[in-house]
């Protein structure tokens, strides 16, 4: 009886092994995608049929964890061996080149040449900004039919014949220096949907034609150049933030709130930074915009200063033109002592209160200081939003317990247009600041 049971167990185990061996190659590759290169190679001992499968996986990932386990020399040798012994196409390649000194960038060039001839569609090169020299993308990469390109700390200098990646759908550039001239600055990207720039330079001559663009993010770039995006009528998510003021001579054209938003009236998610609002506030008052942003559902203000007069005017103009807004969120910053204070009576003017926020459901302020203007603004929203469910006010760590108690008591006395509204008043932490736009 025991021998029969043992035979049955062996038979079942044999069936499972056969099932593992007979898995389709694409399924095996999907399993390996969730493993490191080392673990994928170890799978070869499970079955003869799996012995060389890891060497044909179309997705190769050499992240920072992989590259920092060994010396730079060993890392280069291992990657070269894996690449040049690979069978079949390599569609996705992710590499952290931070440990490779700039004097050894020719090795990376050879990898790029090999990849450019092997069906590459998804390229990510990570080069951490820790003193490393930027990596200059070799000319032959610009001829690859890429669909996704992610670069950090690189130099983007295409050949004169380059007119754009025609298959590209996703671009993310971080600390990329663009070396373009007038001759090769107009790029045609007919399939591009997502474009993100962070800390990039050299955008002065950058002109891109992307009729399908739906997400655009510009964060702390040296030059503000928006004219090439003005015709992107399918834009749905737009984010523009800066960590310092943008002088007029670093803008490609004069910009105000009216011509800025009238170009993108179909936007549903809008993220604006404090210093960009100062650019838009030039020559504006609190009147309504000629364009109604009827599709806008989510509005986020980054590093917003409630005590800056050049902040409140564009804020009120935008809010009056968003009848369907559902979520209004701020990451607040405390104004300087010499900032010109806002006349809070603006919130009480008839044309301001009459507009109302008939669809607003959530007000969220991170780093709430409880200043006079902030409190008047919260009171204004509570009294104008009949569908408001939550006003989430996360108090900055500089506010002590007694100040916090005083602010909370004042908040509880504010009249509310929504009988179901709830005020959440809690300490703020960086963990609670959700990224509003990911590329």
Residue 350 has what pLDDT? 52
Report the SS3 class of residue 413. Answer: coil
The C-alpha atoms of residue 261 and residue 289 are separated, in whole angstroms, by: 9
Distant-in-sequence, close-in-space partners of 422: CB < 8 Å, separation ≥ 6:
389, 390, 391
What are the Cα distances from residue 21, in Å, to 16, 27, 36, 281?
9, 11, 21, 66
Q: Average of pLDDT values for 134-158?
A: 95
Q: Average of pLDDT values for 6-10?
A: 42
How do residues 364-382 score in pLDDT, each as one tens digit?
999 999 988 899 999 999 9
Which structure tokens are listed for 278?
């100062």
Indicate whether 166 pLDDT > 60: yes
How do residues 304-324 score in pLDDT, each as one tens digit?
988 877 788 788 888 888 889
CB 187 within 8 A of CB 164: yes
Dihedral angle over CA of 84, 85, 91, 93, nearest 10: -60
Indicate whether 1 pLDDT > 50: no
Indicate whether 33 pLDDT > 70: no
Q: Average of pLDDT values for 178-189?
A: 80
Indicate whether 20 pLDDT > 70: no
The C-alpha atoms of residue 346 and residue 330 are separated, in whole angstroms, by: 19
pTM: 0.82
Q: Average of pLDDT values for 401-425?
A: 93
Q: Angle at which helices 72-84 and 105-116 pack, to 10 degrees?
A: 20
Find the distance separating the first CA and the last CA of the chain, reported in whole Å. Answer: 62
Backbone angles phi, psi at 238, to 5 degrees: -135, 130
Eight-class DSSP state of 394: E
Q: Average of pLDDT values for 420-430?
A: 88
Q: Average of pLDDT values for 21-50?
A: 58
Burial class (CB in 10 A: 0-12, 13-18, 19+), 193: middle
How much is the mean pLDDT over the chain?
Answer: 81
Domain assignments of the chain as residue spans, ordered by start: 58-209, 236-244+254-334+352-438
Backbone angles phi, psi at 83, to 5 degrees: -65, -50
Eight-class DSSP state of 156: E
Find the farthest-apart pair of alpha carbons in the chain and give their distance in angstroms, rounded: 93
136 sits in which H/E element: strand 135-136
Architecture of domain 236-244+254-334+352-438: Alpha-Beta Horseshoe (3.80)
Residue that is written with structure tokens 């100040």 in the block: 403
Highest mean pLDDT among 78-82, 105-109, 348-352: 105-109
Q: Average of pLDDT values for 134-147?
A: 95
Residue 436 has what pLDDT? 46
CB 199 within 8 A of CB 223: no
Report the SS3 class of residue 299. Answer: strand
Indicate whether 338 pLDDT > 50: no
Percent of the chain scoring above 70 in pLDDT: 74
The C-alpha atoms of residue 176 and residue 98 are separated, in whole angstroms, by: 14
Eight-class DSSP state of 182: G
Which structure tokens are listed for 39?
């673990």
Percent of the chain scoring above 90 in pLDDT: 43
């Amino acid at each position: 009886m025991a021998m029969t049971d043992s035979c049955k167990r062996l038979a079942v185990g044999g069936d499972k092994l056969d099932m593992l061996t007979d898995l389709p190659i694409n399924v095996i590759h999907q399993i390996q995608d969730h493993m490191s290169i080392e673990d994928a190679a170890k799978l070869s001992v499970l079955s003869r049929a799996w012995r060389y499968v890891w060497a044909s996986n179309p997705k190769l990932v050499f992240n920072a964890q992989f590259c920092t386990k060994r010396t730079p020399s060993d890392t280069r040798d291992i990657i070269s061996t894996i690449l040049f012994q690979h069978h079949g196409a390599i569609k996705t390649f992710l590499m952290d080149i931070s440990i490779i000194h700039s004097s050894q960038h020719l090795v990376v060039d050879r990898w790029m040449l090999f990849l450019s001839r092997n069906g590459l569609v998804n390229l990510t090169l990570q080069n951490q900004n820790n003193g490393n020299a930027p990596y200059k993308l070799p000319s032959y990469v610009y001829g690859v039919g890429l669909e996704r390109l992610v670069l950090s700390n690189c130099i983007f200098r295409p050949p004169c014949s380059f007119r754009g990646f025609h298959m590209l759908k996703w671009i993310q550039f971080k600390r990329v220096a663009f070396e373009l001239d007038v001759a090769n600055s107009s790029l045609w990207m007919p399939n591009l949907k997502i474009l993100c720039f962070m800390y990039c330079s050299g955008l002065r001559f950058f002109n891109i034609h992307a009729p399908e663009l739906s997400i655009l993010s510009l964060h702390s770039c040296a030059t503000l150049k928006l004219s090439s995006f003005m015709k992107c009528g399918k834009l749905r998510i737009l984010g523009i933030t800066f960590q310092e003021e943008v002088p007029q001579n670093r803008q490609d054209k004069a910009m105000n709130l009216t011509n800025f938003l009238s170009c993108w009236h179909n936007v549903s998610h809008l993220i604006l930074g404090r210093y960009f609002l100062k650019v838009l506030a030039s020559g504006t008052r609190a009147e309504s915009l000629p364009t109604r942003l009827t599709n806008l559902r989510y509005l986020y203000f980054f590093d917003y200063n409630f005590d800056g007069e050049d902040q409140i005017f564009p804020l009120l103009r935008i809010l009056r033109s968003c009848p369907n807004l559902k979520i209004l969120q701020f990451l607040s910053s405390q104004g300087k002592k010499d900032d010109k204070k806002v006349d809070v009576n603006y919130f009480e003017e008839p044309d301001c209160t009459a507009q109302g926020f008939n669809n607003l459901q959530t007000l969220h302020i991170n780093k709430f200081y409880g200043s006079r203007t902030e409190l008047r603004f919260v009171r204004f929203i509570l009294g104008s939003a009949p569908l408001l469910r939550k006003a989430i006010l996360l108090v900055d760590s500089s506010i002590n317990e007694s100040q916090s108690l005083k602010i909370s008591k004042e908040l509880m006395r504010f009249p509310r247009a929504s009988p179901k509204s709830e005020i959440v008043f809690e300490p703020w932490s960086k963990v609670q600041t959700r990224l509003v736009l990911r590329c």
